[in-house]
Structure 1
Amino acid sequence: MWASALIATLFVQTVSSFSSMALPLLGPPLMARSGLSPESIGYVSALTSGGISWFLACGGPMLGHFGAVRSLQIGLACMAAGLLLMAQPVGLVALLGALAIGFGCGPNTPAGSQILIRTAPPRHRTLIFSIKQAGVPLGGAIAGLAIAPLVQHHGLQAALWTITGVTLASILLVQPFRRRLDGGPATAVGGHWGRALFSPRVFLRSLGVLKAHPSLPLLTALGASYSTLQACLMAFTATYAVTRHGATLAEAGGIVAVMQFSSMIGRVLMGWVADRRGRALRHLALQALASAAAVALLLVAGSAGGLALYACAALVGFTAIGWNGVHIAELARVAPLPLVSDVTSAASLFGFLGSIGGPLAFAGLVRWTGSYEIAFLSAALQLALFGAISFLVLGRQGRAGRRATQGEVE
């Protein structure tokens, strides 16, 4: 059962990542077609993150009604519809497409967590969650290698149609897993899931579940900080390579692919380490400091171009984008079992709010300073700050725990 669950969730995660990564990789031609500056792709990425946040905030009843696998299929259909809208030359329609793509990505984290927490063996749980989350960089790496040649040989419009076709085919391929993994009828909340998507009360209730465990607020804040840096890296690395290093679109795609492949290795390896060492929150705090240092190295050593740029991109991928599996697994571990999908949705919501604000602030900094380097360093610095704060909080909790133990002994 756990193998079927992992295959299904990894496959959908990979396809979703492949389709959503099309937007930043196609950023230069998409923005040029609309008469916008290259850094304006940050606003499209922010809108995509807004769509994800919308589902995470209000999509719980929809997930309860349709079941996890069916919700993943509906998400793929929304992504395909969004890609079709992105293929249209009208700017407003394309922006609606970005929102639909984000909404379609939304079910991946809560639905995947709901499936895996029921089936994954506890001693390998973090590793299995990390393998599933490795689908994000795997899909991004495939996109980095495939999309630029598609555009060069067949044009922007044909590339968008091809990505749409892959997304639609995936809906059919995941269907055999539905009966086994969803199991059982729809829940009683089904009649209200449509209204819940627009209900402020559902949104506020979804945030309340973060009080279910003392570690959840710190985990949520650290995840939001990671997400902010990751969103900036994903939205702007290709454009940075093209505009600052004179890379071609294919070369920029290769740099993104290296970053994504390295992230895939990082997620799996970090999950394996976390299963054996424990203390996942301390692990995430340490990795935050390493991630900020890697971004700084990318800007310094990577400015030499060539192999140095690829090597630094790999290091950034391993650290700054290789965190998510450990984070999601720890959220699922500390959450009460009936609230696993709700907790991961709420925590991921704050992460995607960072994914909205990060690219927006990044684009504004580039416009204001004319420097991608300052914007990247600012994104890295905020993560280093949250990592340091996490260490301080963990240290205080450890000292309080030791004092309590000594008091009981006395």
Structure 2
Amino acid sequence: MKRLCFGRQPADTRYRYHPGMPFSEGLPRSNSTTFSTMSRNFYLTSNKGNMLIGEGATRIFDYDRNYSCMLSVHVLYDAYKGSKEAMDMLNNNFDALVLPMANEIRPNLNHVSLLKVLEQIKIPVVVLGMGMQNEMEDLSALEPATVDLLRWIDERALVFGVRGTQTETWLKKMGFKNPTALGCPSMMLYPENILNIKAPTRKPEDYRFVTAGYLQKKSVRGKQLAKFFTGQKCSYVFQDEIFLFKEELQGRHFFDDARNQLLQNVFEPLVNEAIGTPAPFDKYFYFDSVDAWRQCYGWHDVFIGDRFHGGVAALQVGLPTAILFKDLRVKELSEFFGVPHTTVDKACTMGIEAFMAEFMSEERINAFLDTYRTRLKNFHRHLTEAGLSMTENYQAMLMAA
């Protein structure tokens, strides 16, 4: 399989060229930092964690990059009104359709266009990272098109890769036969850095922390996170919460695009008021690029936070990482890969020093690495058996693991 179409999850904040001429490329964002422009840019990716998912899937496989592409196939379907000519573009130009996914199994999500694409597809389909938003009693909580999508994938996909064991177990309980817990492709991108992670051994005050979470109005989680890091050197990374401050930010200069940094004098008062307590963070970041995200993390020492893919970026650069959670998505992925994790409530009650001693000990970090090696090898086995090849970096690290 040398010609791959990656049909979901953008890997960067880029605009599409809608006429779609041969050799055309989408453009990067402008240097405008108005609230409305940044909101439009956000629409290109939605939650910034999605960039890590899309990027991971597109970079770990070995294929012909001149004859492969990223393409939101449901957008293609809608733009061409489902024409046979449009669907033949997929069938005639690619050897497989790869669908990196996230929490696609949730109520009130309409998958009609994607389902219509799959019903006309003749090439193999590989699904990666599909997961549940929250626990559900049964399939009646989902839109009919989502149920039909799951049935198509279960019956026809070459690989039905889901996020973790909870999603796999629930789907099998609902009668699906082929879902396989493989994790998120973002966790497979830099295994050499992940496997070189060492447990932090010094006091918290000796480290520069980076975190992510939910600093938004009346957020209990945001207030807890602020309390947890009080007295520490810590940076905070926004993923989508800045757009909840629309009224306060309209018409103001609040972002340094070159540094990917929110202006402290603008944001600190807003955050303090939103969470009802002084925030301890001395730097605030927001990223439209995964490369900038990782480079920023590279001058930090430890990640502890309430966003799984914020933690993935830290793991990719080799930072000791622990995940705090409130919902199934984060808990499922953390458990599947063995990343040290606990609830936001427990971490806040313990305090940072006791938390690190328990959850980021050498024993915990080594247990995570053992689990990660198993997941890495399992992912490789399933995907190569399906006919996909991995890059030489991945192959070399697999041998070393």
TM-score (norm 1): 0.26
Higher helix residue share: 1
TM-score (norm 2): 0.27
Higher strand residue share: 2
